[in-house]
Amino acid sequence: MSSGVIAASECLQAFTELKMSKSLKYILFKLNDKRTQIIVDKTSENPDYEEFVNSLPADGCRWAVYDFEYKLEDGSQRNKLCFVSWSPDTAPIRAKMVHASSKDALRKSLDGIGIEIQGTDMTEVAYETVFDKVKRLSR
Protein backbone atom coordinates (compact mmCIF):
# COMPACT_ATOMS: atom_id res chain seq x y z
CA MET A 1 0.00 0.00 0.00
CA SER A 2 1.35 3.40 -0.99
CA SER A 3 0.67 6.63 0.86
CA GLY A 4 1.20 8.90 -2.15
CA VAL A 5 4.23 10.46 -0.46
CA ILE A 6 7.23 11.23 -2.70
CA ALA A 7 10.92 11.53 -1.91
CA ALA A 8 12.40 15.02 -2.37
CA SER A 9 15.27 15.29 -4.85
CA GLU A 10 17.60 16.20 -1.94
CA CYS A 11 17.20 12.61 -0.67
CA LEU A 12 18.73 11.10 -3.80
CA GLN A 13 21.42 13.81 -3.90
CA ALA A 14 22.49 13.04 -0.32
CA PHE A 15 22.42 9.28 -1.01
CA THR A 16 24.58 9.72 -4.12
CA GLU A 17 27.07 11.74 -2.06
CA LEU A 18 27.22 9.03 0.62
CA LYS A 19 27.55 6.22 -1.92
CA MET A 20 29.98 7.78 -4.40
CA SER A 21 32.17 10.23 -2.54
CA LYS A 22 32.16 8.41 0.81
CA SER A 23 32.15 11.84 2.50
CA LEU A 24 29.03 11.00 4.51
CA LYS A 25 28.65 8.14 6.96
CA TYR A 26 24.88 8.25 7.34
CA ILE A 27 21.70 10.04 6.34
CA LEU A 28 18.45 10.29 8.29
CA PHE A 29 15.23 10.86 6.37
CA LYS A 30 11.82 11.87 7.67
CA LEU A 31 8.40 13.00 6.51
CA ASN A 32 7.87 16.75 6.22
CA ASP A 33 5.36 18.37 8.58
CA LYS A 34 2.51 17.98 6.09
CA ARG A 35 3.39 14.30 5.55
CA THR A 36 3.48 14.80 1.79
CA GLN A 37 7.20 14.41 1.10
CA ILE A 38 10.25 12.57 2.43
CA ILE A 39 13.08 14.98 3.23
CA VAL A 40 16.62 14.77 4.61
CA ASP A 41 16.54 15.17 8.39
CA LYS A 42 20.29 14.92 9.10
CA THR A 43 23.58 13.91 7.52
CA SER A 44 26.81 13.08 9.30
CA GLU A 45 30.42 12.33 8.50
CA ASN A 46 31.03 10.85 11.96
CA PRO A 47 31.90 7.12 11.73
CA ASP A 48 30.82 6.45 15.34
CA TYR A 49 27.97 3.93 15.12
CA GLU A 50 26.73 4.90 18.59
CA GLU A 51 26.23 8.48 17.42
CA PHE A 52 24.10 7.16 14.57
CA VAL A 53 21.95 4.99 16.85
CA ASN A 54 21.57 7.83 19.36
CA SER A 55 20.34 10.14 16.59
CA LEU A 56 17.30 7.90 16.05
CA PRO A 57 14.41 9.53 17.95
CA ALA A 58 12.88 7.58 20.82
CA ASP A 59 9.33 8.44 19.79
CA GLY A 60 9.53 9.27 16.09
CA CYS A 61 9.89 7.34 12.85
CA ARG A 62 12.85 7.75 10.51
CA TRP A 63 14.54 6.03 7.61
CA ALA A 64 18.30 5.96 7.38
CA VAL A 65 21.13 4.83 5.18
CA TYR A 66 24.30 3.92 7.04
CA ASP A 67 27.63 2.97 5.43
CA PHE A 68 28.37 0.01 7.70
CA GLU A 69 32.05 -0.98 7.85
CA TYR A 70 33.18 -4.29 9.30
CA LYS A 71 36.06 -6.77 9.27
CA LEU A 72 35.86 -10.40 8.29
CA GLU A 73 37.69 -13.15 10.17
CA ASP A 74 40.56 -12.95 7.65
CA GLY A 75 41.02 -9.28 8.56
CA SER A 76 39.70 -7.87 5.28
CA GLN A 77 37.73 -4.65 5.55
CA ARG A 78 34.25 -4.55 3.98
CA ASN A 79 31.28 -2.24 3.93
CA LYS A 80 27.58 -2.55 3.16
CA LEU A 81 25.04 0.19 2.68
CA CYS A 82 22.31 -0.49 5.23
CA PHE A 83 18.79 0.85 4.85
CA VAL A 84 17.18 1.25 8.27
CA SER A 85 13.47 1.67 8.74
CA TRP A 86 13.10 2.99 12.30
CA SER A 87 9.60 2.82 13.76
CA PRO A 88 9.87 2.60 17.54
CA ASP A 89 7.10 1.01 19.60
CA THR A 90 6.66 4.37 21.38
CA ALA A 91 5.84 6.32 18.17
CA PRO A 92 2.20 7.31 17.58
CA ILE A 93 0.19 4.69 15.67
CA ARG A 94 -0.74 7.07 12.83
CA ALA A 95 2.89 8.07 12.34
CA LYS A 96 3.91 4.41 12.15
CA MET A 97 1.20 3.67 9.58
CA VAL A 98 2.21 6.57 7.29
CA HIS A 99 5.88 5.67 7.77
CA ALA A 100 5.29 2.06 6.74
CA SER A 101 3.19 2.94 3.71
CA SER A 102 5.70 5.58 2.55
CA LYS A 103 8.86 3.47 2.82
CA ASP A 104 8.86 2.26 -0.79
CA ALA A 105 8.76 5.83 -2.13
CA LEU A 106 12.24 6.28 -0.68
CA ARG A 107 13.66 2.76 -0.76
CA LYS A 108 13.03 2.14 -4.47
CA SER A 109 15.03 5.24 -5.43
CA LEU A 110 18.14 4.12 -3.51
CA ASP A 111 20.15 1.82 -5.74
CA GLY A 112 22.95 -0.19 -4.15
CA ILE A 113 21.53 -0.96 -0.71
CA GLY A 114 23.10 -4.17 0.62
CA ILE A 115 20.88 -4.89 3.59
CA GLU A 116 17.60 -3.74 5.14
CA ILE A 117 17.09 -3.41 8.88
CA GLN A 118 13.67 -2.99 10.50
CA GLY A 119 14.00 -1.43 13.94
CA THR A 120 11.32 -1.03 16.59
CA ASP A 121 13.70 -0.87 19.56
CA MET A 122 17.40 -0.22 20.13
CA THR A 123 18.35 -3.91 20.28
CA GLU A 124 17.29 -4.34 16.63
CA VAL A 125 19.66 -1.60 15.45
CA ALA A 126 22.53 -2.31 17.86
CA TYR A 127 25.95 -2.74 16.23
CA GLU A 128 26.23 -6.45 17.07
CA THR A 129 22.74 -7.21 15.70
CA VAL A 130 23.48 -5.45 12.41
CA PHE A 131 26.96 -6.99 12.22
CA ASP A 132 25.53 -10.50 12.67
CA LYS A 133 23.01 -9.92 9.88
CA VAL A 134 25.64 -8.44 7.54
CA LYS A 135 28.01 -11.32 8.27
CA ARG A 136 25.31 -13.93 7.48
CA LEU A 137 24.56 -12.23 4.15
CA SER A 138 28.26 -11.97 3.26
CA ARG A 139 28.74 -15.72 3.14
Beta-strand ranges (E) seen in the chain are: 6-7, 26-31, 37-44, 62-71, 77-86, 115-119
Q: Is residue 139 scored above 80 in pLDDT?
A: no
In tens, the pLDDT along 57-93 reads: 999 999 999 999 988 888 888 899 999 999 999 999 9
**CATH value of 6-137 in 3.40.50.720, 1.10.1740.10, 3.40.190.10, 3.40.20.10:** 3.40.20.10
Our CA angle for 37, 39, 41, nearest 5°, is 145
The answer to whether the beta carbons of residues 86 and 58 sit under 8 Å apart is no
Sorted by where each begins, the domain ranges of the chain are 6-137
- Tally the residues of the chain: 139
pTM, entire model: 0.92
The answer to whether the beta carbons of residues 8 and 38 sit under 8 Å apart is yes
